[in-house]
Structure 1
Amino acid sequence: MSDELVPADPWSPLRAYTAARIALGRSGGSLPTRAQLDFRLAHARARDAVLAEFDAEALATKLRVLGEPVRVVDSAAPDRAEFLQHPNLGRRLAEASRATLAGSAETTPRCDLAIIVSDGLSTLAATTQTEPVLVALLPLLRGDGWNLAPVIVARHARVALQDEIGEILRAQISLMLLGERPGLGSADSLGAYFTYAPAPGRTDADRNCISNIRTGGLAPAKAARKLHALLTQARQLRVSGVVLKDETVLGDSAPEKPALGSE
């Protein structure tokens, strides 16, 4: 049925205020053809974001331009298929990567912050959103005198991998930037998770999360300012997670509470 023949939906004016799938109209008891095709396209983009291979070396090359050393490590997942089928493999380092990081940590001082980047559940998010977030965040951290560990790009990681890496690097705080599980219409959404005193065994209650970092959600530069404010509070108060409250106000918006959750 052509768009001209689709009955008008009374909710149509609300579509100007949200990207949610509302007021799609109907054709008999079904969706109009255009709405059905849009849905299938969004679903295909979400699948592609999950299944796409992650070129960690290419991303590391882009991030080195920002002025920080970058190292590439592997989780215990040998490939993307194993990573998706066995989530626990993404929560710990491969033996070779653990040994390499541990060896380098012995000759470097303790750091204030370890930044870890990974594909997570959206390779697209990691490759498109990580760089603009760090472009805005790193100068703020340097301006405050943060001692940073080399940026770690980890293949096939889950959120909890930040705890093992943070402990090995003797970081006061670990920050994980990784692709979130895609939604329909948000296949490129990045999540930022940080934990004070990272160590294996930490739970979601011990970490804070800023989610939906993307052009159509929380803009990367704005997310960086919020992260900087929260990381500063965490360092000053020596806490993170449910006991750390977000009191930042960015622009004219009301304070936003950082969501707690896992990947």
Structure 2
Amino acid sequence: MSDIIHEDAWQQLKAFTHARIALGRTGTAVPLQEQLHFRMAHALARDAVHTPLQTHLLAEALAPLKLPLLQLHSQAGSREEYLQHPDMGRKLSLPSAALLQQHTTGTTDIALMVGDGLSAIAVQQHAPALLHTLVPLLRNQGFTLSPLAIIEQARVGISDETAYLLKARLALLLIGERPGLSAADSLGVYMTYNPRPGLTDEARNCISNIRPAGLPPAEAAHKIHYLVQQAFLRQLTGVQLKDNYPSAALPEK
């Protein structure tokens, strides 16, 4: 077997992406180093799915925002149940729904939520930085905010019921995205105007790949702020709300 590694013609493109391209070859096989990188990426993706959210550490990181925190849970009682029955992750447990009803005193503009999703690692690492930029922007704009809900075993659809019970005009959910072989720490943000149970994905806007190697959290916060303003101006989200955020408006670095 040849021990000479033949580089791929796309080698120079690797500088612009974390995707697994231009792997090269040794004979007819992928080089050993690339095989090991693949196995490591696969292990990181599995860890991202199964690692539990450290809610106490997340609460400590979010404490400077001075928002009341609500600890909620979906109907999935375990990680195994969450993965095997996706619908259970889209609905609040009965105790969590009752807790929300106790904390609802009137309408609010935005329901802020953080859910573990399929990568609690992404939430743990990137949600605090995003919210520390976003919350002051929203407050300065005059938006009223609900208590910050931390939801375990959550899927995107749970934001509709949560925001509805909080009597919010807009649902804003930060959630860990499904990990891939080039990114196990990708955070997504979903926003829905006039949230209520039964909505489907075309009613939402999504900003994905929020991480230092993708869309940095601080830049994502400004993009979200723009979309929130547009959602309230036009009173809608989803396929009718286009992301026309001007790149020239990004904050200077």
> What band does the TM-score fall into relative to the shorter chain?
over 0.9
- CA-CA distance at 1:252 after TM superposition: 8.0
CA contact (8 A) 1:113 1:148 kept: yes
**1:154 alignment counterpart:** 151
Tell me the residue number matched to 2:71.
72
CA–CA separation in structure 2 for the residues paired with 1:250 and 1:11:
28
The letter of the residue matching 1:145 is G
Question: C-alpha offsets along residues 112-147 of structure 1, whole Å, 9 cap, x if unaligned?
Answer: 000110110001001011001101101100100110
Residue of structure 2 equivalent to 1:58: 57
* 1:4-43 pair list within 5 angstroms: 5-43=4-42
Q: Once the 2 structures are TM-superposed, how far is the Cα of residue 17 of structure 1 from its aligned partner?
A: 1.8
Moved over 4 A (4+): none
Q: Does 1:102 align with 2:101?
A: yes
**Residue in 2 aligned with 1:243?**
240
Distance across 2 between alignment mates of 1:95 and 1:56: 20
**Letter of the 2:82 counterpart:** F
Q: CA deviation at 1:10?
A: 1.7
Query: Which position in structure 1 is the counterpart of 2:116?
Result: 119
Give CA deviations for 1:144-203 in whole Å, capped at 9, x if unaligned: 011000010000100000000011000000011000000112100000000000000111
2:99 pairs with 1:138 = no
Q: Secondary structure at the match of 1:131?
A: helix
Matches of 1:36 and 1:9 in 2, distance apart?
A: 15
Equivalences for 1:73-222 in 2 at 5 Å? 73-105=72-104, 108-222=105-219
- How high is the sequence identity, in percent, across the aligned residues? 47
Report the AA paired with residue 64 of structure 1. A
- Number of positions where the alignment pairs a residue of Structure 1 with one of Structure 2: 250
The amino acid of 2:187's aligned partner reads L
Structure 1 CA distance for aligned equivalents of residues 17 and 249 of structure 2: 19
Cα separation, 1, equivalents of 2:241 and 2:13? 35
Q: Distance in 2 between matches of 1:5 and 1:239?
A: 58
Name which of structure 1's ranges 133-142 and 53-62 shifts more when overlaid on structure 2: 53-62
In structure 2, the residue matched to 1:260 is: none
User: How much does 1:99 deviate?
Assistant: 0.5
- Gap change, CA 1:252 and 1:236, over 3 Å in 2: closer
- Structure 1 residue 67 displacement after superposition: 1.8
Q: For 1:235 and 1:14, locate their aligned partners in 2 and report how far apart those are by CA, in whole Å.
A: 41
Q: Aligned partners of 2:17, 2:162: CA distance in 1, in Å?
A: 38
Deviates more, 1:145-154 or 1:23-32: 23-32
Structure 1 distance, partners of 2:77, 2:248, is: 43
| Aligned equivalents of 1:21, 1:244: Cα separation in 2 | 33
Contact 1:51–1:80 (CA under 8 A) maintained in structure 2: yes
The one of 224, 227, 232 equivalent to 1:230 is: 227
Letter in 2 for 1:6: I
- Please give the TM-score of this superposition, normalised by the length of structure 2: 0.95
Task: Name structure 2 gaps, 5 residues minimum.
Answer: none
State the Cα RMSD in Å.
Answer: 1.5
- Specify the SS of the correspondent of 1:154: strand
State how far apart, in whole Å, the 1-side matches of 2:202 and 2:16 are: 33
Structure 1 unaligned blocks of 5 or more: 254-263
Question: Against the structure 1 CA distance between its residues 197 and 252, is the aligned structure 2 distance closer, same or farther, given a 3 Å change threshold?
Answer: closer
**Contact conserved, 1:57 with 1:72, CA < 8 A, in 2?**
no
Equivalent residues of 2:171, 2:195 under 8 A apart: yes
> Within 2, Cα distance between the matches of 1:236 and 1:244?
11
